[in-house]
Amino acid sequence: MYGNDTALLVIDLQPDFMPGGALPCHQGDAIVPGIAALLAQRRYATVVATQDWHPADHASFASRHAGRRPFESIELHGHAQTLWPDHCVQGSAGAALHPQVDWSSADLILRKGTDRQVDSYSAFRENFGPQGDRPATGLAGWLHERGIAEVHVCGLARDYCVLWSAQDAAISGFRVRFLWELTRPVSADNDETTRIALVEAGIEIEK
């Protein structure tokens, strides 16, 4: 059992990110048993699960940009935006929290990516929006109010939403542990870049 000042963040463990889903991560299904076991052990007094929850006409979907294909990059609100296959559409089966995990220990389920104009990788802040800033989700304040000083992060995808969540957690004043083996990337080609980014942010990587 970890102390009451440590929280677990499970990022976007949803069917659409599994093999066969709309936006499959490399071996995304491999981490489901480990995360299910971790939650069943009740080692964390505070557990947060995030859920990608997009409107059907979300601006990050390649289908909303004529002539564009998934994984191409465009400029959106002055910043680079990867275009994705339609995924995690609100209310769809692919957007549900993974059914093989008992989520009853989750104290908060945070839905992100709900603004059709703004993508949202991080649990703590949306991506850059039309005002030129990254609006806060409120998670940092919620955790601070509960006396949380350290967060452990796992889930999908290692090179996007988990990475950005870990970086923003560190910026928000938390000690951060990245549970590497309980994450998987969109592309394993990004692993070295992800490791460098974590080290630069002072984030502990747990193998």
Report the catalytic residues: 12, 112, 161
d(CA 73, CA 153): 27
| Nearest alpha-carbon partner for 151 in 6, 13, 44 | 6
Helix ranges, 41-103 (H): none
Q: For strand 79-82 and strand 73-76, is the pairing parallel, antiparallel, or unpaired?
A: antiparallel
| CA–CA separation, 143 and 7 (whole Å) | 8
Q: How far, rounded to the nearest angstrom, does the alpha carbon of residue 20 sit from its chain's CA centroid?
A: 19
- What whole-number distance in Å separates Cα of residue 114 and Cα of residue 80? 19
Amino acid making up residue 67:
G
Cα separation, 21 vs 32, whole angstroms: 14
d(CA 133, CA 77): 9
